[in-house]
C-alpha cells in the first residue's frame, strides 16, 4: 500500500510538471505543493472483541504497553488541476511495539488469554491514506474555499503474543485488515500575506458495507510561512479519529483510535 501511494504521488508530479500551459492564479496559490514533516501524537486506542455471544472483551493501549505519546513522520501533496479543482493526498503512520510487558489483570483478546502477572509482546501498525478531490466554490485574491469527496483508507495491523509468569508460551492473536471509507471534504486557503498562509481542511464519513461499519474523521489546520518563493515552513494541528466495527456473524470486533497532535513540516511549491 505504501509503495502504491508513493508511485501514484510521483506519477502525478511527473504529469503535472509536463503540463506546459500556465494556469492563471495568485502568486501564493501554487500549482504543486509537497509536504513532509513530523507529527507528535497524543494517542488513545482501545480494541474490543466478542465471540459467539460471549461477554465483550476490551483491551487498550495501556494494557499492551504501547506508547501513546509518539513522534513520527507524515507526507502530503496538493495538486491544482485547474482554476478551481484540487487533489490532495496525505499519509499518516503510527508504529510501535512493546516487549515483555507484565499484565496487571487477566488479558483476553480473540482466543488468547494471559493470566494476571503474565507477559505480553505486542505491536500496532496503523497506516492512514487520505485522498480528496475538491472544487473551490469560493475564490478570491486572498482566499480559496472548496468542497469535495474522497476516500480514507485505514490499514490496521495488531499482534499480541502472551506467556504465563512461568514462561509458558500461551500463543498469539492478531488482526490485520484494510478498510476504505469514502468521505466528504471541506478545505481551503487564506493568505494573510503572500508569504503567510492559513491552510485548513476536514473530512468525515460514516457508512456500513459488508462486514464493516466505520466512521473516520480527519481535520487539520496550519500556518505556513514562505520565506522563499518555492520553499516554506508550516506548523499546526491535526486530528484523526477512526472507529471501525467488524461483524462476521460469529465474531464482532471494534477498533476505536484517536490520533491528535501538533504538526511541523517543510513544504515545497511551484
CATH for 53: 2.40.128.90
Is residue 102 helix, strand or coil? strand
How far apart CA 254 and CA 175 sit, in angstroms, is 11
Pairing of strands 119-139, 143-163: antiparallel
CA angle at residue 205 from 202 to 209, to 5 degrees?
155
Span 145-178, pLDDT tens digits: 999 999 888 888 889 999 998 888 999 988 887 8
Q: Tell whether 78 is covered by a domain.
A: yes
Q: Tell whether 248 is covered by a domain.
A: yes
Q: Give percent helix, percent strand, percent coil of the chain, each to the nearest 5.
A: 5, 70, 25
Closest C-alpha among 88, 85, 76, 87 to residue 23: 85
Structurally, the chain folds into a number of domains equal to: 1
Band of pLDDT at residue 18, cut at 50, 70 and 90: very low
CA angle at residue 263 from 153 to 36, to 5 degrees?
70
Q: Tell whether 19 is covered by a domain.
A: no
Span 109-133, pLDDT tens digits: 777 889 888 999 999 898 999 999 9
User: Which residues touch 207 (CB under 8 Å, ≥6 apart)?
Assistant: 181, 182, 213, 214
Q: Tell whether 26 is covered by a domain.
A: no
How confident is the model at residue 15, as a pLDDT? Answer: 47
Q: Tell whether 174 is covered by a domain.
A: yes
Residue with cell 472483541: 49
Range of the domain at 66: 2-12+33-269
How far apart CA 136 and CA 119 sit, in angstroms, is 54
Mean of the pLDDT values across residues 215-231?
A: 93
Q: Tell whether 39 is covered by a domain.
A: yes
Greatest distance between any 2 Cα atoms in the chain: 71
How far apart CA 263 and CA 238 sit, in angstroms, is 7
Rounded to an integer, what is the distance from CA 269 to the centroid of its chain?
23
Mean of the pLDDT values across residues 252-263?
A: 89
Q: Tell whether 187 is covered by a domain.
A: yes
Q: Which residues pair with 161 in a beta bridge?
A: 121, 172
Q: Tell whether 92 is covered by a domain.
A: yes
Is residue 10 helix, strand or coil? helix
Mean of the pLDDT values across residues 187-216?
A: 87
Q: Which comes out higher in pLDDT, residue 20 or 39? A: 39
Amino acid at each position: 500500500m505504501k509503495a502504491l501511494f508513493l508511485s501514484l504521488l510521483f506519477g502525478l508530479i511527473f504529469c503535472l510538471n509536463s503540463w506546459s500551459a500556465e494556469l492563471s492564479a495568485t502568486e501564493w496559490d501554487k500549482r504543486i505543493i509537497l509536504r513532509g514533516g513530523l507529527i507528535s501524537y497524543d494517542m488513545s486506542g482501545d480494541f474490543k472483541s466478542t465471540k459467539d455471544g460471549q461477554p465483550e472483551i476490551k483491551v487498550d493501549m495501556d494494557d499492551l504497553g504501547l506508547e501513546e505519546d509518539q513522534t513520527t513522520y507524515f507526507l502530503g501533496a496538493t495538486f491544482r488541476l485547474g482554476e478551481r479543482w484540487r487533489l490532495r493526498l496525505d499519509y499518516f503512520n503510527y508504529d510501535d511495539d512493546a516487549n515483555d510487558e507484565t499484565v496487571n489483570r487477566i488479558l483476553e483478546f480473540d482466543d488468547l488469554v494471559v493470566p494476571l502477572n503474565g507477559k505480553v509482546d505486542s505491536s500496532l501498525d496503523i497506516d492512514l491514506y487520505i485522498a480528496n478531490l475538491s472544487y473551490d466554490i469560493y475564490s478570491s485574491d486572498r482566499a480559496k474555499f472548496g468542497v469535495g469527496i474522497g476516500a480514507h483508507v485505514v490499514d490496521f495491523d495488531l499482534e499480541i503474543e502472551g506467556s504465563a509468569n512461568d514462561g509458558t508460551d500461551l500463543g498469539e492473536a492478531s488482526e490485520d485488515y484494510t478498510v476504505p471509507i469514502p468521505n466528504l471534504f471541506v478545505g481551503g486557503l487564506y493568505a494573510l500575506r503572500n508569504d503567510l498562509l492559513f491552510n485548513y481542511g476536514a473530512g468525515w464519513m460514516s457508512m456500513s458495507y459488508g462486514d464493516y461499519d466505520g466512521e473516520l474523521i480527519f481535520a487539520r489546520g496550519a500556518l505556513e510561512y514562505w520565506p522563499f518563493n518555492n520553499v516554506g515552513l508550516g506548523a499546526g494541528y491535526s486530528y484523526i479519529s477512526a472507529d471501525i466495527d467488524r461483524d462476521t456473524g460469529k465474531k464482532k470486533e471494534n477498533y476505536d483510535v484517536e490520533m491528535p497532535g501538533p504538526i511541523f513540516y517543510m513544504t515545497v511549491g511551484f
